[in-house]
Amino acid sequence: MTAPRTVAVIVGSLRKGSFSRITAKALESLAPAHLKLEIVEIGDLALYNEDVEKEGAPVAWTTFREQVRAADAVLFVTPEYNRSVPGALKNAIDVGSRPYGKSAWAGKPGAVVSVSPGAMGAFGANHHLRQSLVFLDVAAMQQPEAYVGQIATLFDESGQITNEGTKGFLTGFMASFATWIEAVIGR
């Protein structure tokens, strides 16, 4: 029996009804039972500015950092904006990485799911994010990769996945992530 693990889920789109958020919720229901996924909101984070940090970090920043730090692992679910990660997501990464020497991300196991309405599955966002994770020392799971294209066709109106192939793929993805989390935590 595996000990419970908490997973901070970062959703790259701020739209209430975003496909990233719907996907994040679906992943929660498909994950092994011992993984507790919780979305950590990023929409209220002011743009990172070191001057502001020195004057006193806003409550939203410190709360976000504590939420990330408290989690055993992190899972990113994101669309692509202009061939890269959305600014809001990159800002959350920056806020969580500071102040210098006190990054909330350091050492955690991580995984990336990128989604797109078109065919390409937000490849550009997926790999730009991975480049940041190297610096953040988030040990990102390599396989399976998750580039989920045609995202608008995969769910019903209640947010349930209707595509069986996608359901099976994402279930396997979360099972692999659970294994990966234990390997990284156990090192």
Interface residues toward a copy of itself, by CB under 8 A = 13-16, 43, 45, 47-52, 81-95, 97, 119-121, 123-124, 127-128, 130-140, 142-143, 145, 147, 149, 179-180, 182-184, 186-187
Residue number, 131 or 160, with CB nearest to a copy of itself: 131
Residue number, 28 or 53, with CB nearest to a copy of itself: 53
CB atoms within 10 A of CB 100: 8
The least distance separating a copy of itself from the CB of residue 168, rounded to whole angstroms, comes to: 17
Residue number, 52 or 70, with CB nearest to a copy of itself: 52
The least distance separating a copy of itself from the CB of residue 30, rounded to whole angstroms, comes to: 21
Residue number, 29 or 150, with CB nearest to a copy of itself: 150
Residue number, 29 or 63, with CB nearest to a copy of itself: 63
The least distance separating a copy of itself from the CB of residue 33, rounded to whole angstroms, comes to: 20
The least distance separating a copy of itself from the CB of residue 28, rounded to whole angstroms, comes to: 22
Cβ contacts of 65-69, under 8 Å, gap ≥ 24: 65/95, 65/96, 65/104, 66/104, 67/8, 67/40, 68/8, 68/40, 68/96, 68/104, 68/105, 69/104
The least distance separating a copy of itself from the CB of residue 182, rounded to whole angstroms, comes to: 7
